[in-house]
Amino acid sequence: MIMKKATLENIDNLTQIAVESRYRWNDNEKDLKKHIISSLKRKGAETYYLLKNNIAVGYIVITIKNKIADIDFMGIKKKYQGKGYGKEIMFAIISQIKKSYNQARLAVWARNFTAISLYNKFGFYVYKIQRNNYPNGDAKLFMKKELK
């Protein structure tokens, strides 16, 4: 497997991952594409994608500010979920950012137990809960990991 830095040239692959991961379940493909383009153009943001046999299976977006790396999004195509690709992406990104940054942070839907378990395995812990964050009343968990 190979992790590569994404550019606007990769927009179709990244959009397909987002569509198939169902991370932003209310968004249509056009809105997802706009969201990804915005991430690719945002100052301080970096996007990486994971290739397996030349197939883009997942991607991650991080934003860097003040020695902190915020993981803004991570998605794996549905048919590749539960097969270790999330671990591959997290391992690669943590290995990369710990060289230069003091802390990694992320936010996750409180009912996304699979993602929370993955983040816990990498040493992330909940430091803040935002109740009633989503339209259905669900909470958002803010997690972080010290890197130095």
- Per-residue pLDDT 10s for the chain (148 aa) are 888 999 889 888 888 888 888 765 556 788 888 888 888 888 889 999 999 998 999 999 999 988 899 998 899 999 999 999 999 999 999 999 999 999 999 999 999 899 999 999 999 999 999 999 888 888 999 999 999 7
- pLDDT, residue 24, reads 59
Dist. CA 122–CA 18, nearest whole Å = 23
pTM of the predicted model as reported, rounded to 2 decimal places: 0.86
Tokens standing for residue 65: 């500010």
Dist. CA 125–CA 82, nearest whole Å = 21
**Looking at residue 10, which CATH number applies to its domain?**
3.40.630.30
Dist. CA 148–CA 143, nearest whole Å = 16
- DSSP string computed for 41-82: HSTTEEEEEEEETTEEEEEEEEEEETTEEEEEEEEE-GGGTT
How many domains in the chain?
1
CB count in 10 Å sphere of residue 108: 21
Structural domain containing residue 33: 2-146
